[in-house]
Structure 1
Amino acid sequence: MTDLAAVLVALGLLMGLAYRGVTLLIAAPATALLAALLTGGLPILGAYTQIFMSNTGSFIVSFFPLFMLGAIFGKLMDDTGSARSLARLVSARLGPERAVVAVVLCCAVLTYGGVSAFVVAFAIYPVAAALFRNADIPKRLIPGALALGAFTFTMSALPGSPAIQNAIPMPFLGTTAFAAPALGIVSGLVMFALGVLWLNGRAARAQAAGEGYGDHVDCAPALDRTTRERAQAEGFDIVEISAKPASAMDPDAERLPPAALAVLPIVVVIVTNFLFIQVVVPRMDTAFLAEPKFGATTIETVRGVWAVIVSLSVAILLLIAGNWHRLDDLRTSLDQGADASVLPIFNTASLVGFGAVIAALPIFDVISQAVLALGGGNPLVSVAASVSVLSAMTGSASGGMSIALDALGPTFVDMARTTGVSLEVMHRVTAVASGALDALPHNGAVITLLTVCRLSHRDAYGDVFVVAAAIPMIALVVLIVLAGLFRSFGL
């Protein structure tokens, strides 16, 4: 077996194991060491302890605060009723005739504010089921609407998003969460507009053919063990959700906060993030960062991560202060939120470790040159190709991005500086590319989403693929073309 074939076998096995629900804590190191064994390029034990574990640990050290604070924020948004309050506000304002847009916007508002996509899927599904049933839109389109709102433009394109996919490039490129805002907004609008057009068109054709919502049970399904563990890892109460039908939409039945109070923490995340970068950081004395005990780094490397930490912390305090009487047990909410961050970051970090082992194999130099050649000297095309391909292979936007940047980050930076490409634009291309092909059938979020909706891949995955993979790829192309045009005109 050739070395390239060995790497492809390892990647294929990783995809297959992930699709079948095998935890990445086992699948990632096992397949990485299998590649090392088949190629004979690395000592097995050395590859595991010195390469896999070292890179896994480095990722956790760098990004654990973002995962933990994001999970706590999402848990508090759920436990205080803020997520449901926002969902009802959007659906009430738009009405049943705009059910698709209402569901997409509900998901978008929550994910742009930092709520985990897993939590959003559980929280918004009952609202989506009620809206789609009232509008007589086929239920099989619900996963597409949820995916469009939660897995696409708010995750990777919109500037200021606290999503981990928007945070990972920051220490590599010295950028912030607001990198290339105009290009990010344009690519986000492309995803939103084309996605809504697609779903509305599908709904219109289905209704013209006489297909309505269908005969479905709208409460959340009895989850298999894998999906239950994923949901519980996000701090979600499975018993509570599975017992609550989608038709239970009476606002008086729950102690929901006013819409203005519900949306305020999300606004605070974005505004605080921006102000910290633009106002606070320039006034800070950060010379101490050059000292070895602080990593001998610079403020450009850490300011983006610091900004997200501060903004999420302020929003969490605001959620607690504004909803104190709605939290039955604050300590439990904080504990479950913190616990919910552990499995996601270890899963992503394990993929980073997998990529580090692959990158250490002699064959990786050949693979790297092939990927870089795809760009024809254009660093934006090179980074887009490498990130999107690795995200597709691993079924993880954050994992694929981390693998690419760990292995080729310095090369991409050198290419950008040599060709005069802005690192901020490279940041935005990297983030959007990570979400262009990650939503393949073996993606964990896709599997969980379909299970929550009690639909199969055959029922609904086609629309999920279009809105969460094909259309983001179109937006990525638009982004790269516009970046080239702006550069040509000196903008």
Structure 2
Amino acid sequence: MGLLGILIGLGLLIWLAFRGWSVLLLAPLGALVAAVFAREPVLAHWTQTFMNGGAGFFARFFPLFLLGALFGKLMEDSGSVTAIADFMMRRLGKDHAILAVVIAGALITYGGVSLFVAFFVLVPMAQELFRSTGIPRRLIPAAIVLGTSTFTMSALPGTPSIQNAIPMPFFGTTPFAAPGLGIVASAIMLCFGVWWLRRVAAAARRSGEGFGEGTPATPESLASDDRLRERATVGREFDPAEIVRGRHAEAGPPIMVAVLPLAVVVLVNLSMTLLILPALDLGFLSDDRWGGISSSAVSGVWAVVTALAAAVATVVVLNFRRLPTLRATMDAGANASVLPAVAVASLVGFGAVVAAMPAFEVVRDWVLGIGGGPLVSIAVATNILAALTGSASGGLTIALDALGSTYLMRAQETGLDPALLHRVAVIGAGTLDSLPHNGAVVTLLAVCGSTHGESYRDIVIVGIIGALLALSVVIVLGTILGSF
């Protein structure tokens, strides 16, 4: 009965979330259903297990949600994101239209700009470029997914994405975990995705297919769509309702000024990880006052938080006169972080209750018993949970909360570098999270004026198949050569 309760609770969560119900209600409901079937104390699991699990996630990662959303909103309202995307598309031009969209998206998101901010800037430019070159409109969502939601989210070393930060407290790793393998995975995703999109575009040209027609959604219409908002905030780390608040600069900055905050994110992150934090005496963290933790449990998060904070300050200083309503912009960025953080924390609370059920031992034993060793096991676990929740960050945290300590112990026993576990787990979470119910996928299709029937096949190829191919290569190389 306990296992049946877990399945029913999960089924309710998936079904009602897809229909637009708030995960803030569904996650505790699903957890309580699981507890009832297992004949466990319901109220104790709600106030102790569920809330402690969700609060732990919120305490560890809310600074990243806050600074990431704030940075993205400041970059958008200052005109910096538009300037960067426009520069890339003009430089690469019509001859490399697909690559221009992909690289523009990659540059923006690797620099720390929130995904939904990137959507609203990239889509109009991609539409103009694709229309002028006769590339079908239906390929725009896949091109944007490839640039914003694959290698820059899960594989590229140092990426400030929340997904890349989640394994750090569990494994004591850094944002640059397994950099060589991350670069290999990034190259596979990028090359495979661009090859596929060019192949489809060439076939469309031969068949006489043109740009096509569609009705893109406006930021205002998306901000007022409560059902879409609920699904979107679980999928990524920015509340779409805040995209229309504040005021956009009348003229954007020069390209060097626009790019500098992105460079600050990368350089400060790298400096904190490799130079500054290792040189500091952080032994005081072992005191009970600070939770009795090791420096490795927080140094990775500290590096990303410092990098984003420095980038926020850089944007404000460089674009002070271009931000006509600075307070409103910063308020919108801060507010945009809250609902996504609480929504993902609720999913983590649900996972904590499920992991506490006696019947979960069956699931744990099955996952840990998967052949191929801990790398294959952790890849399968993160894939499945990200797919079920429709959230890479939620699925990854649930998997590591339940099994992270076991994987770390097995890695230590076998001499496996935790950095390799980190990279495999993050890439694994960034594959099947892009199933049709994913909030980011639904939002992107709406922004592009496309449907699942028109564009989802190509999203699957570049966002799932390419990522699974890269994940397989990383597992094979990591098993043979170890982490590098």
Q: Please, what TM-score do these two structures have when normalized by structure 1?
A: 0.93
Alignment of 1:268-287 (within 5 A): 268-287=264-283
Paired letter, 1:105:
I
Cα distance in 1 for residues equivalent to 2:169 and 2:246 = 39
Q: Could you tell me which residue of structure 2 aligns to residue 172 of structure 1? A: 170
Q: Could you tell me which residue of structure 2 aligns to residue 87 of structure 1? A: 85
Alignment of 1:62-77 (within 5 A): 62-77=60-75
Relative distance call for 1:28 and 1:472 in structure 2 (3 A) is same
Tell whether the 8 Å contact from 2:217 to 2:449 is kept in structure 1 after alignment.
no
Paired letter, 1:360:
A
Q: Could you tell me which residue of structure 2 aligns to residue 137 of structure 1? A: 135
Q: Could you tell me which residue of structure 2 aligns to residue 415 of structure 1? A: 410
Q: Could you tell me which residue of structure 2 aligns to residue 213 of structure 1? A: 211
One of 197, 200, 204 as aligned partner of 2:198: 200
Q: Could you tell me which residue of structure 2 aligns to residue 227 of structure 1? A: 228
Whether 1:24 aligns to 2:19 is: no
1:200-250 deviation per Cα after TM superposition (whole angstroms, max 9, x unaligned): 111111121111111234563733333357588246444999xx9xxxxxx
Cα distance in 2 for residues equivalent to 1:374 and 1:328 = 56
Mean Cα displacement is larger for which, 71-80 or 213-222? 213-222
Q: Could you tell me which residue of structure 1 aligns to residue 335 of structure 2? A: 339
One of 285, 292, 295 as aligned partner of 1:289: 285
1:170-200 deviation per Cα after TM superposition (whole angstroms, max 9, x unaligned): 0100000001000001001111111111111
1:263-284 deviation per Cα after TM superposition (whole angstroms, max 9, x unaligned): 1111110110111121111221
- 1:8 Cα deviation after fit: 2.2
Cα distance in 2 for residues equivalent to 1:199 and 1:167 = 30
Structure 1: stretches of 5+ with no match in the other structure = 245-252
One of 299, 302, 307 as aligned partner of 1:306: 302
Mean Cα displacement is larger for which, 326-335 or 16-25? 16-25
Secondary structure at the counterpart of residue 328 of structure 1: coil
Secondary structure at the counterpart of residue 352 of structure 1: helix
Paired letter, 1:343:
L
One of 256, 259, 263 as aligned partner of 1:260: 256
Alignment of 1:30-179 (within 5 A): 30-40=29-39, 42-179=40-177
Root mean square deviation, CA, Å: 1.9
Q: Could you tell me which residue of structure 1 aligns to residue 323 of structure 2? A: 327
One of 380, 385, 390 as aligned partner of 1:385: 380
- 1:7 Cα deviation after fit: 2.0
Tell whether the 8 Å contact from 1:18 to 1:443 is kept in structure 2 after alignment.
no
- 1:137 Cα deviation after fit: 1.0
Q: Could you tell me which residue of structure 2 aligns to residue 247 of structure 1? A: none
Secondary structure at the counterpart of residue 211 of structure 1: coil
Secondary structure at the counterpart of residue 212 of structure 1: coil
Paired letter, 1:123:
V
Cα distance in 1 for residues equivalent to 2:12 and 2:130 = 38
Cα distance in 2 for residues equivalent to 1:199 and 1:348 = 32
Cα distance in 2 for residues equivalent to 1:225 and 1:277 = 40
Structure 2: stretches of 5+ with no match in the other structure = none
Secondary structure at the counterpart of residue 341 of structure 1: helix
Cα distance in 1 for residues equivalent to 2:212 and 2:317 = 43
- 1:462 Cα deviation after fit: 1.3
Tell whether the 8 Å contact from 1:234 to 1:337 is kept in structure 2 after alignment.
no
One of 350, 359, 363 as aligned partner of 2:359: 363
Secondary structure at the counterpart of residue 369 of structure 2: helix
- 1:469 Cα deviation after fit: 1.5
Q: Could you tell me which residue of structure 2 aligns to residue 452 of structure 1? A: 447
Relative distance call for 1:13 and 1:219 in structure 2 (3 A) is closer
Paired letter, 2:454:
D
1:128-186 deviation per Cα after TM superposition (whole angstroms, max 9, x unaligned): 11111111111111111111111110000001000000000001000000010000010
Q: Could you tell me which residue of structure 2 aligns to residue 14 of structure 1? A: 13
Cα distance in 2 for residues equivalent to 1:481 and 1:443 = 29
One of 389, 394, 405 as aligned partner of 1:394: 389
Q: Could you tell me which residue of structure 1 aligns to residue 467 of structure 2? A: 472
Cα distance in 2 for residues equivalent to 1:205 and 1:39 = 55
Cα distance in 1 for residues equivalent to 2:443 and 2:217 = 15
Paired positions, count: 476
Cα distance in 2 for residues equivalent to 1:48 and 1:195 = 43
1:408-443 deviation per Cα after TM superposition (whole angstroms, max 9, x unaligned): 111000111111110111111111111011101111
Cα distance in 2 for residues equivalent to 1:218 and 1:389 = 32
Secondary structure at the counterpart of residue 104 of structure 1: helix
One of 349, 355, 361 as aligned partner of 1:353: 349
Secondary structure at the counterpart of residue 293 of structure 2: coil
Secondary structure at the counterpart of residue 159 of structure 1: coil
Mean Cα displacement is larger for which, 139-148 or 281-290? 281-290
Mean Cα displacement is larger for which, 23-32 or 289-298? 23-32
Mean Cα displacement is larger for which, 112-121 or 407-416? 112-121
Secondary structure at the counterpart of residue 374 of structure 1: coil
Paired letter, 1:180:
A
- 1:294 Cα deviation after fit: 0.6
Tell whether the 8 Å contact from 1:235 to 1:337 is kept in structure 2 after alignment.
no
Secondary structure at the counterpart of residue 477 of structure 1: helix
Tell whether the 8 Å contact from 2:24 to 2:342 is kept in structure 1 after alignment.
yes
- 1:465 Cα deviation after fit: 1.6
Cα distance in 2 for residues equivalent to 1:371 and 1:432 = 18
Q: Which runs of structure 1 show a deviation greater than 6 angstroms over 4 or more consecutive aligned residues?
A: none
Tell whether the 8 Å contact from 2:117 to 2:243 is kept in structure 1 after alignment.
no
Tell whether the 8 Å contact from 2:74 to 2:329 is kept in structure 1 after alignment.
yes
Paired letter, 1:100:
I
